[in-house]
């Protein structure tokens, strides 16, 4: 486990973008899993800037969305796939972009399809950490071995998703790349920002490995890199 503590959100975004760009440059056809949420927004801004300036080539990169709300109509602007398109994918040519289908008639079949699509292996999984310790939509006490799964969302996760649905109730379920595939990735980049993430990050890093806190499983990943700002890292022993 490698932990990098930076001063603030801007430095976190710079460190995250630099790491993603190294993977994109070092591997001929990199497979990269991307998250949504507030924490990676600065990273995406920097990646767009590098891309549009011609300093980073994404034409051979294969991008996959980490998770998705279900069910939602195809093309709904609140889907995480639509969000990633706005943030990065639609700003230039990429080799490939795939995502879990929010409109899938059978979510189990869709999860199987997505796991098969990722069969070549994940070079880098970029993830955040939920306040309840979830990674993607792998909520506490769900199947930690699944390659991809449908999950009933907790009240906290639905409340967080409410930002995408100012006038509607968000769906009750999510589809997500499972911890089984995340743990098999060559490297995992965990981003944490803000004082509200300090307690759960410290538990995930220093506490017991338990399905009650999915992020704690990452302690056992040999290629885990954590980038946290000082607020999020304030309860870590090295802070």
Please identify which of the residues 67, 68, 123, 229 carries the catalytic annotation.
Answer: 67
Q: Which of 232, 152, 160, 159 is nearest to 191 (CA)?
A: 232
H helices present in 53-171, as ranges: 80-87, 107-117, 155-161
CB atoms within 10 A of CB 131: 14
Please identify which of the residues 11, 45, 98, 132 carries the catalytic annotation.
Answer: 132
d(CA 237, CA 239): 6
132 is catalytic: yes
Please identify which of the residues 50, 110, 139, 229 carries the catalytic annotation.
Answer: 139
139 is catalytic: yes
Please identify which of the residues 50, 99, 110, 134 carries the catalytic annotation.
Answer: 134
- Tokens 């040999």 belong to residue: 222
Say if CB 133 and CB 203 are below 8 A apart: yes
- Catalytic machinery residues: 67, 132, 134, 139
């Amino acid at each position: 486990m490698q932990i990098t503590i930076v001063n603030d959100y801007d430095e976190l975004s710079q460190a995250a973008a630099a790491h993603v760009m190294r993977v994109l440059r070092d591997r001929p056809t990199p497979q990269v899993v991307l998250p949504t949420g507030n924490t990676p927004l600065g990273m995406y801004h920097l990646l767009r800037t590098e891309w549009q300036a011609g300093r980073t080539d994404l034409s051979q990169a294969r991008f996959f969305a980490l998770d998705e709300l279900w069910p939602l109509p195809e093309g709904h602007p609140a889907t995480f796939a639509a969000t990633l398109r706005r943030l990065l994918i639609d700003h230039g040519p990429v080799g490939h972009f795939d995502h879990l289908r929010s409109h899938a008639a059978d979510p189990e079949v869709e999860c199987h399809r997505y796991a098969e699509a990722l069969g070549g292996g994940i070079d880098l999984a970029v993830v955040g950490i939920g306040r309840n310790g979830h990674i993607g939509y792998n909520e506490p006490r769900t199947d930690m071995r699944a390659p991809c799964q449908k999950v009933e969302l907790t009240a906290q996760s639905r409340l967080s998703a409410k930002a995408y649905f100012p006038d509607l109730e968000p769906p009750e379920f999510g589809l997500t790349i499972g911890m089984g595939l995340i743990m098999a990735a060559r490297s995992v980049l965990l981003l944490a920002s803000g004082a509200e993430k300090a307690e759960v990050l410290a538990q995930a890093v220093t506490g017991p490995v338990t399905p009650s806190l999915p992020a704690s499983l990452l302690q056992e990943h040999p290629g885990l890199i954590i980038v946290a700002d000082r607020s999020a890292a304030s309860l870590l022993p090295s802070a």
